[in-house]
Amino acid sequence: MSAAVREQTPPREDLTERVRWAIHDGLVLTRRNLLRYVRIPTLLVFSTVQPVMFVLLFRYVFGGAITALPPGARTYVNYLMPGIFVQTAIFGATQTGIGLAEDLASGIIDRFRSLPTARSAVLAGRTTADLFRNLFVVLLMTAVGYLVGFRFQEGAAFAALAIGVAVLVGFAFSWISATIGLAIREVESVQAASFVWIFPLTFASSAFVPIEGMPGWLQAFARNNPVTIWANTMRGFTLGEEFVRAIGENMGGLVLRSAVWIALILVVFVPLSIRIYRRT
């Protein structure tokens, strides 16, 4: 290592180059975060145990009691699975904030921030890796669902769309979680601060049961809860038109509202989390 080969001060980068490097850095860090699951496979096992347990418990514990299903839902397990996908994606997204809080505590974020790495890359790498993990978990749950009677009714293309909705919801919530993780910084507190609102949000929705059985005030909330909108959109893809008509919706409207909610979350929380990251 001699003085002659030491790095010289680089020129300023233009926008195209910056975008190119942001993607490059994001991918380098996505790979880093995914390698964690390769090195410690038990982590992946643990992130699938709870969702699989939810499928089995809801299917067999509540399945028999919940009979008032909208027409087109066929069986409870067919009604349940899209809801479970959304719930799993949202719960899984809390890992984003926990992972970032761990990285902050270990000091590795300081290293990343002292490097010429794009400011978005640490967060993008984390949320993208979590997207892949979420995709894996949802696919595994689909397999478990198939074992206990769930079927996609509308073919492979719509099945893929349904799974796509769940994964995108998870991605959007990863950015909320990133914001919480960076703002709170302590692993246990991040965990607590996430579940305190995620539980009511996912349960006071149509994710597990039709909202018609809830008291009026709760119905008002549940009807407008984005979790309900996402779950019903996915049901449109897995159960078909009959179900959508039965709950008084139309497919185009559901898809649009789903997309708007996801976009809204991203528009608010991507810049917000990057801002907090810069200041951390």
Partner 1 sequence: MIEVQGLRKSFGEVVAVDGIDLDVPEATVFGLLGPNGAGKTTTVRILTTLLRPDAGRATVAGLDVVRDAERLRHVIGLAGQTAAIDENLTGYENLEMVGRLYHLPKQVARTRAEEILERFQLTDAADRPARTYSGGMRRRLDLGASLVGRPRVLFLDEPTTGLDPRSRLELWDVIRELVRDGTTIMLTTQYLEEADRLADGIAVVDVGRVIARGTPDELKARVGGEVLALRVSDRSRVPAAAGAVLGLGPGGGKVDNNTGEITIPVGPDGPRLLTEAVRRLDAEGIEIADIALRRPTLDDVFLALTGHGAEEAPSGPPSARRRARRRAGRAA
CA torsion through residues 249, 247, 146, 93, sign = positive
Footprint of partner 1 (CB under 8 A): 1-3, 5-10, 12-13, 21, 24-25, 28-29, 32, 35-36, 39-40, 106-108, 110-117, 121
Q: For residue 256, give the 3-state DSSP assignment.
A: helix
We find the least distance from the C-beta atom of residue 104 to partner 1, in angstroms, to be: 10
We find the least distance from the C-beta atom of residue 105 to partner 1, in angstroms, to be: 9
Q: For residue 68, give the 3-state DSSP assignment.
A: coil
Q: What distances in angstroms separate CA 222 from CA 178, 208, 210, 226, 264, one per listed residue?
A: 25, 12, 10, 8, 19
Q: Which element (helix H / strand E) includes 228?
A: helix 226-239
Q: Which is nearer to partner 1, 111 or 275 (CB)?
A: 111
Q: Which is nearer to partner 1, 41 or 248 (CB)?
A: 41
We find the least distance from the C-beta atom of residue 31 to partner 1, in angstroms, to be: 8
We find the least distance from the C-beta atom of residue 117 to partner 1, in angstroms, to be: 4
Buried b (16+ CB within 10 A) or exposed e, 111-124: ebeeeebbebbbbb
Residue 102 CB coordination number (10 Å): 14
We find the least distance from the C-beta atom of residue 157 to partner 1, in angstroms, to be: 37
Q: Which is nearer to partner 1, 113 or 275 (CB)?
A: 113
Q: Which is nearer to partner 1, 24 or 275 (CB)?
A: 24
Is the CB of residue 118 less than 8 Å from the CB of residue 22?
A: yes
Q: Which is nearer to partner 1, 219 or 280 (CB)?
A: 280
